[in-house]
Amino acid sequence: MRTATVIASAMAALLALAPASGTGQDATSDPRLPEASRRLQQYIRIDTTNPPGNESAAVAFFADIFEREGIPYETVEPEPGRGSIWARLEGGQAPGIILLHHIDVVPADPRFWKHDPLSGTYENGYLNGRGALDTKGLGIMHLEAFLALARSGVPLERDVVFLATADEEAGGRLGAGWIVRNRPDLLDGVGLVLNEGGSGRILGNRVVFSVEVTQKVPMWLRLNAVGPAGHGSSPSTRSAVTDLIEALERLRQDPFAPRIVPAVGDFFRDLAELESAAADLADPEGLIAQPERLAALHRTNPMLHALTRNTCAVTRLKASSKINVVAPAATAELDCRLLPDQGPRAFIHELRKRLDQPSISIEVLMSFAPAVSSTDTDLYRAIEAVTARRFPGSTVLPAVTAGFTDSHFFRDLGIVAYGFSPAVIPGADQGGVHGNNERISVQNVERGWRTMLDLLETIAVAPNRRRSAPGAVTPTGGQD
């Protein structure tokens, strides 16, 4: 199932990262690192910043590993350089499971980082670089567990698919979205997806794993304002720019009304039970009824606040190309996130009323349908069992996220998709996702892939064929 053209086009980009024979380690990898962490270091060093993406270079990285392991794989490249790759371990008749992560990463400005974002620098037990958490670290945990399962040779009760895709950071049109539309055969027999969106963290004195089951629905919009053009030296009483500024200020001053949807209410109450500092979340309806309490939540935890209402962030503005020209047109782009029960048409209607400016038209750039994955599944119960075994005393709770992932492509088809990572991320490191100094501990990488292997064996291997104890299969070096 190999597509040689994608690999050939990308291989040149990987010459500097070519693995030493039989070691899976490039010439500049830190020898102190276990193999899984060395692979992550290599992966971080492949520049897949989107735009432009260049994910095919990472496709070649994975293809080389699968070639050496003797595992069949397939690649696609909808546009030059925008590759994705998958490999399948065939099993029995139970619904198959996909291990999904995205190859592309968001841009990073080296001026604001301690280490170069593409360096993969190893320091004080951490690997530093863009993608360490979002989502190259998760991808390596998937890979190592997948390889260990393949090496074990144990019969599987369901297919297990490794899938690394392009373009998630720009909406997934050339990655998961393209595969769902153009290669539905990949999804034959698949009923489960493990993706990004949830992870472990420490609340109080216990580890809590969130499993993302639904997310706010993205709606990316462009506001187009028109007005009289002119010379900057003699401005008119109104222009496209002033109309746009006034409308955006009305939107800022009058946010959308807060409301608690059932999934968010459950999430808040679960958090309140687990952490004394989250006591305000125990009564979500009471919280949103008191503006001063809701404003305090916005200041201290914008992510949780975002789950209480529809939101729109102004992310891009454009008008004149010259400082002395009053432009006849101006645009603003909004990253709006809708609560899972919000109808898109009703939202646009309400937004028009809030902007209150006839000269502004609204253009929809991207919009998805809402969907929720049930927790009444063997996979969710397996996550609970494995995390309890690996992290004694830990808790698992279903979560709603303010961001979006590629999971919606699969949920739209009725496939259960969960956001779950076995990493336990300190609060101080969580800001690295799309921020500066993104990093992941080597302990999280090494412990993470072993936990993922345990989960795959629990969900895909018959009980009488599973390992007698966690850790008996050791595909790479390093300690838990």
Residue 301 is part of a domain; what is its CATH number? 3.30.70.360
- 193 and 237 belong to one structural domain: no
- 107 and 182 belong to one structural domain: yes
Q: Is 478 a member of any domain?
A: no
Q: Is 360 a member of any domain?
A: yes
* 405 Cβ contact partners less than 8 Å away, ≥ 6 residues apart: 168, 195, 196, 197, 212, 215, 419
Q: Is 50 a member of any domain?
A: yes
- 181 and 65 belong to one structural domain: yes
Q: Is 207 a member of any domain?
A: no
- 273 and 350 belong to one structural domain: yes
Cα 279 to Cα 276: distance, rounded to the nearest angstrom: 5
Tens digits of per-residue pLDDT, 107-148?
999 999 999 999 999 999 999 999 999 999 999 999 999 999
- 90 and 229 belong to one structural domain: no
Note whether 395 and 206 are within 8 A (CB): yes
Cα 62 to Cα 293: distance, rounded to the nearest angstrom: 49
> pLDDT at position 28, please?
61
- 31 and 117 belong to one structural domain: yes
> pLDDT at position 468, please?
52
Q: Which of 367, 385, 415 is at the close of a domain?
A: 367
> pLDDT at position 474, please?
36
Q: Which residues of the chain have pLDDT under 70?
A: 1-28, 468-480
Quote the pTM value: 0.86
Q: Is 52 a member of any domain?
A: yes
- 299 and 426 belong to one structural domain: no
φ/ψ of 387, rounded to 5, equals -65, -35
> pLDDT at position 480, please?
39
Enclosing domain of residue 429: 4-197+405-465
- 230 and 281 belong to one structural domain: yes
Q: Is 470 a member of any domain?
A: no
- 229 and 324 belong to one structural domain: yes
- 225 and 85 belong to one structural domain: no
Q: Is 171 a member of any domain?
A: yes
Cα 450 to Cα 143: distance, rounded to the nearest angstrom: 11
Q: Is 338 a member of any domain?
A: yes
- 120 and 187 belong to one structural domain: yes
Q: Which of 341, 367, 393 is at the close of a domain?
A: 367
Tens digits of per-residue pLDDT, 326-372?
999 999 999 999 999 999 999 999 999 999 999 999 999 999 888 89
How many domains are there within the chain?
2
Residue 125 is part of a domain; what is its CATH number? 3.40.630.10
- 139 and 228 belong to one structural domain: no
